[in-house]
Chains A and B, each alone.
Chain A
Amino acid sequence: MDFNYSDEQTTLRETLQRFIDREYDFERRRELAQSTLGFSAEGWARFAEFGLLSLPYPEEFGGFGGNAVDVMLVMELIGRGLLLEPFLSTVVMCGGLIRDAGSAPVKRTLLPRIGTGEIKLALACYEATGRYDLSQVSCTAAPDSGGGWRLTGQKTVVLDAPSADYFLVSARGGLGVSGVGANGTAANAAGANAARDPRGISVFLVGREAQGVSLLAYPTQSGGRAADLRLDDVRLGPDALIGAAGEGLAIVERAVDSGAAALCAEAVGIIAALNEATLNYLKTRKQFGVPIGKFQALQHRMADMFIAAEQARSMAILAAVYADSEDAAERRRSVSAAKAYIGQAARLVGQQSVQLHGAMGVVDDVIVSHYFKRLTMIELTLGDTDFHLGRFSSALMG
C-alpha cells in the first residue's frame, strides 16, 4: 500500500495548480465558456508544454509513460479549476484508445501530434435512444473499393466535438466483404436488436474535414462544447480502422472506462472545492447575530459533506488504480463502483452546497452554481449512477 504521490507527480500538480491560480480564475473561465471556441487555445498550448497532453503515453511515442493515477491528479485539478479544455476527450479517451488499440504506425502518427497539441480528437460512441449503451450502434461501415470503408449514421452528444480535428467513431461493420454486417445494412434490416449486438462493431478514425461529415454544435449545461455528428457516406481509407475489426465494443468500453475514472477524479476536485467554499460561507455569513456555522443542524450537514468527500476520494483512487488493468472484469467493477458511488456523493455535496449558500447558491455570478452544474453533468456523463449501479450489480451475478 502506498497512497503518496511521487516527486514527479507532485511537481506536475504544482505546475498545473500554478497555471490555474495565475491564468484561470472564475472570471476568465466565464469568458472562455462564452467564447466561440469554448476553452483557452493558449491554455491548451501550455498543457502541451507541461507535458499533460502526452502524459499517459509510452515514451517511444513521445509520451511521459504516465498512468491513470497521473491522469487522476490532473483531473482533480481540472475539476477544482473548472477547466474547459478537452483533456478528457483528446488525451484520456481518444489518446488512450489509440494507445491501447492502435497499430504501431497509427500510434507513431497520432500520439506525438496529440502530445504537442497539434490535433484534438473526440470520441463518438453514443447514439440517439441508446442512452449509455455502447453496443447500440446503428452507424454502419460498408466496404469500399481499395479496402476502405463508407460510413453512414449519426452520433449524439459527442463531447468536445466542435474543436476536434478527428473523431473516433464506432460503427457496425469493418470485417471485410464476407464479415458480419459487412454489407452495412444489417442494423437497418434486423431492427433494434441487431443494433445492440455486441459483435461486429469496429472503430474508425474520421477527419473533421472529410466529405459527408456534418456537425450540430452546441454548448453544454456546464460550459463545455459538444455536437451531434452526422456521417453521410463518408469515404475512409484502409488505415482508418483502429484496432481489430469487430472488436470495437471492447475497445470503446475500455476508453470510456478510463474516461469515467477520470471524471470521478474531476468530481473529487469539485467536491473538495465546494466543501471549502461552503465551509468558508458557514464561517462568514451571519444571520441572527452569529455565523450560520454555529447552528448544529448546519454543522452536521457539513460533517456529512466532509465524509462524502473522503469516501469519494477513496473511490476515485480505486477507479484510477484499476482503470489501466488488463483484466477487463476487474476494471469494469472498479470503475462502475466508483462512478456510481461518486455520482451520489456529488449529488449530496452539490445540492447541499447550493442549499447552505441560500440564494447565493442559485445565481450565475457565484462559482458555487457552476461547480454544482458541472457535478450534475459529470453524474450524467459516460454512464449515470443507475447505469453504473446496474453494471456493478450485473457483474455480481456473473
Chain B
Amino acid sequence: MDLKYTPEEESFRAEVRAFLEAELPGDIRGRMRLGRRITKADLTRWQKILHGRGWGAVMWPTRFGGAGWNVVQQHIFEEERADIGAPPQNAFSLRMLAPVLMNFANAAQQEYFLPRIITGEDWWCQGYSEPGSGSDLASLRTSALRQGDHYVVNGQKTWNTLGQYADWMFCLVRTGSEGRPQQGISFLLIDMKSPGIRIKPITMLDGEHEINEIWFDDVRVPVQNLVGEENKGWTYAKFLLTHERTNNAGIGNCKRALKKLKEIASRQTANGRPLLEDSRFRDRVVQVELELMALEITNLRVLSATADESRTLGPEVSVLKIKGSEIQQTIAELQMQALGPDALPYLREALEMDWVADPQFAGHYAPYAPPLTGHYFNMRKTTIYAGSTEIQKNIISQMILGL
C-alpha cells in the first residue's frame, strides 16, 4: 500500500503543468476561472491545442491515436487540467462514443470518425432520453425503419446536451419490437445536417441554453452508420453509460471547486472576520472535503482494479457517480451560501467575458460572485442525468449486493 506518487509520476505532473501553463489561452482560462460562458469555439480551439501536443485523447490507446496513459497519469492530467482552469474536453465524443466505436464499430467507422474527434473537427451529442423514456430508457420509441440502404428515423429525443453545437449524434433507435424492450434497440450515428431534423432549445432553471428537444421527421441515415449489429444497441448503450458515469465522478473538478470555495470563504466576511473563520461554516466545508478525500482514493482503487484485472468497468462506477454528483452539488451550494445576501442578484450580463462591476458600486460584487447561484441551480442536474441517483442505487442493490 502506498498512496504517494512515484518520482516518475511527479515529474509527469510537472510536465503536464508546464504544458498547461504555457499553452492554455489566457482568455479561456479567465472565463473558466470566473465561471463565465464558454463557447464551442473555445472548446474546439483547446482541443486542437491538446491534439497538437499529442494529448488530444489521453484516455485512448495509442493504436487509435490516443496518448495511452495509465489511470494514474489520466488522473494527474485531469487534476491539473481542472486546477489550472482548462475547459473539460467534449466527454460525449471522447469518453462516451469513442470507447463504443473502439469496441463495437467496424474498421471503416473507426478510421473515419475517431481521427475527426481527436482533431476537434466533429462535435458529438447524445440521443438517448425521450419524453416517455428517462430512467426507463429501454422503453424508447424513436423508430428506424430499414428502406434499402438507409434507415428512416422518426421520433423525438429530449434532454439532449449541447446538440445545438453538434455535427453528429449517436442515437438509440428502435429497430425491432419483438421480445423484451432492450432487444429491439440499435445504435445509429446520425449526421445533424440531415434533412428532417428539428432542434428546439430548452431553457434550464438558471436561464441558460444547455439542453434541447430534437425531432426526427423521416430522417434518412445510411446503413453504414449502424454501429455493431442491428438490435444489439442496448449492449453498446450500457457500455457507454458505464464510461459516462466514471467520468461523472469528476474528481479534478471537485478539487478545483473546493479550492475555489475556500478562496471565496476567505474573501467573504461574517462578523468582521473572513467567513472561513466561522466554525459553523468551516465545518460544512470540511465535511465535504472528507467526502472528496475518500472519493479520490475510491476512484483510483476502482480504476486500478479494472486496469490490473484487464476487465471493463462494472456496476461499481455507480458508487463514483452518486458520490461525485453529491459532492459537486454540496460544493456549489456552499459557494452560493458563502455569498450570503449577495447570492440574490441575477446579473445575467455578468456571465459575459467583458463584464465589470459598475464603478459607482464597485467593491460590492467580487468577480466570482455573479455566476455562483445559477451554478448551484444548474448542478441539481448532476443527480438526475446519466442515470439518476435512484437508478444508481438500484444498480448497486441489484448488481453488486444481489438484493
Interface residues of A (CB under 8 A from B): 126, 128-133, 136, 154, 156-157, 192-193, 196, 214, 216, 218-222, 226, 228, 230, 286-289, 292, 295, 297-298, 351, 354-355, 358-359, 361-365, 369-370, 372-373, 376-377, 380-381, 384, 386, 389-390
Contact = CB atoms under 8 A, between A and B. Distances in A.
Given A221-B346, A389-B280, 9 more contacts: A226-B344, A287-B133, A355-B380, A355-B389, A359-B158, A359-B381, A363-B205, A380-B344, A390-B280
Contact of A369 (B136, B205, B361): B205
B71 interface: no
Given A228-B364, A373-B377, A355 B341 contact: no
Contact of A351 (B280, B341, B380, B381): B380
A198 to B, nearest CB: 12
B205 A220 contact: no
Contacts of B270: 131, 133
A361 B139 CA distance: 21
B343 interface: yes
B340 A384 contact: yes
B341 A131 contact: yes
Interface in B180-203: 202-203
B344 A154 contact: no
Contact of A363 (B203, B271, B358, B373): B203
Interface in B318-347: 336-337, 339-347
A383 B340 CA distance: 8
A136 B272 contact: yes
A156 B341 contact: yes
B204 interface: yes
Interface string B351-388: 00000001011011000000001101110110111001
A214 B361 CA distance: 10
Contacts of A154: 361, 364
A192 B273 CA distance: 10
A131 B129 CA distance: 43
A132 B340 CA distance: 7
Given A131-B268, A287-B134, A386-B280, A221 B360 contact: no
Contact of B388 (A136, A289, A351, A358): A358
Q: Which 6 A-B pairs have the closest CB atoms?
A: A369-B205, A287-B136, A364-B203, A131-B340, A128-B364, A157-B341
B345 A220 contact: yes
B259 interface: no
B349 to A, nearest CB: 9
13 contacts: A156-B341, A226-B345, A289-B136, A351-B380, A355-B384, A358-B135, A362-B377, A362-B381, A364-B202, A364-B207, A365-B203, A376-B376, A386-B278
Contacts of A351: 380
Contacts of A386: 278, 280-281, 337
A358 B343 CA distance: 25
A31 to B, nearest CB: 15
Nearest to B280: A386
Contact of B361 (A131, A216, A362, A384): A216
Nearest to B381: A362
B9 interface: no
Given A157-B342, A220-B346, A376-B376, A363 B388 contact: no
Most A-side CB within 10 Å, residue of B139, B280, B343? B343
B342 A376 contact: no
A216 B192 CA distance: 44
Contacts of B346: 218-221
B159 interface: yes
B217 interface: no
B340 A218 contact: no
Given A355-B384, A369-B377, A372-B205, A380 B341 contact: yes
A390 B278 CA distance: 10
Contacts of A128: 363-364
B205 A373 contact: yes
Given A128-B364, A369-B205, A373-B205, A220 B380 contact: no
A132 B269 contact: no
A86 to B, nearest CB: 14
Contacts of A130: 269
Contact of A359 (B159, B268, B358): B159
B393 interface: yes
Contacts of B204: 362-364
B6 to A, nearest CB: 42
Contacts of B278: 386
B390 interface: yes
Given A358-B135, A362-B205, A380-B337, A192 B272 contact: yes
Contact of A196 (B202, B203, B272): B272
Contact of B385 (A196, A226, A359): A359
A240 to B, nearest CB: 23
B400 to A, nearest CB: 17
Nearest to A368: B205
Contact of B345 (A157, A364, A373, A384): A157
A358 B134 contact: yes
B281 to A, nearest CB: 6
B205 A359 contact: no
A380 B340 contact: yes
B393 A376 contact: no
Contacts of A363: 202-205, 211
Interface string B264-278: 000011111001001
Contacts of B364: 128, 154, 156, 228
Given A157-B345, A377-B344, A380-B341, A361 B380 contact: yes
Interface in B213-248: none
Nearest to B343: A380
